[in-house]
Amino acid sequence: MQTYFTALLLTIAVESVVYYIFIRNKPAKLLLYSCIINGLTHPLELYFYTEYSLTYDLNNNFNIYFLIIEIVVFLAEIIPLKILLKVNLYKAVMIALTANLLTALLSFLF
């Protein structure tokens, strides 16, 4: 369980930094938005990935389920980012893509 919370906190931190790089305004508010968005998507992502990993006996970090789940999370975060950050759709897509690519790449390190 400690590993999960470490991953969640790392995800929140990294994504809030990405938000700040794009927005350059109100870092505390961006951290809060990162907590809200990842508080919703991260537990679901872990649940589905764990479910498929156990069901299909997947031992490695990278597999098709990891990729599918990451794409779904990326897509799910676009609209909340657009609404919360008050940016256009293109910028919301770029923020979500950058944030999720970084956190997905970091997941291979741990």
Amino acid at 108: F
Q: What is the pLDDT of residue 51?
A: 81
pLDDT tens sequence across 52-92: 766 655 555 557 888 889 999 999 999 999 999 999 999 99
Amino acid at 2: Q
Kindly list the domain boundaries of the chain, sorted by start residue. Answer: 2-109
Q: Residue 108, Cα to own-chain centre: how many angstroms?
A: 14
* Radius of gyration (C-alpha) of the chain in whole angstroms: 14
The average confidence (pLDDT) of the chain is: 90
How many helical (H) and strand (E) elements, i.e. helices and strands, does the chain have?
4, 0
pLDDT tens sequence across 2-48: 888 998 999 999 999 999 999 999 999 999 999 999 999 999 998 88
Residue whose tokens read 């679901």: 44
Q: What is the pLDDT of residue 57?
A: 56
* pTM: predicted TM-score of the whole model, two decimal places: 0.88
Structural contact between residues 23 and 85, judged by C-beta atoms closer than 8 angstroms? yes
Q: What is the pLDDT of residue 54?
A: 64
Q: What is the pLDDT of residue 8?
A: 93
Structural contact between residues 84 and 33, judged by C-beta atoms closer than 8 angstroms? yes
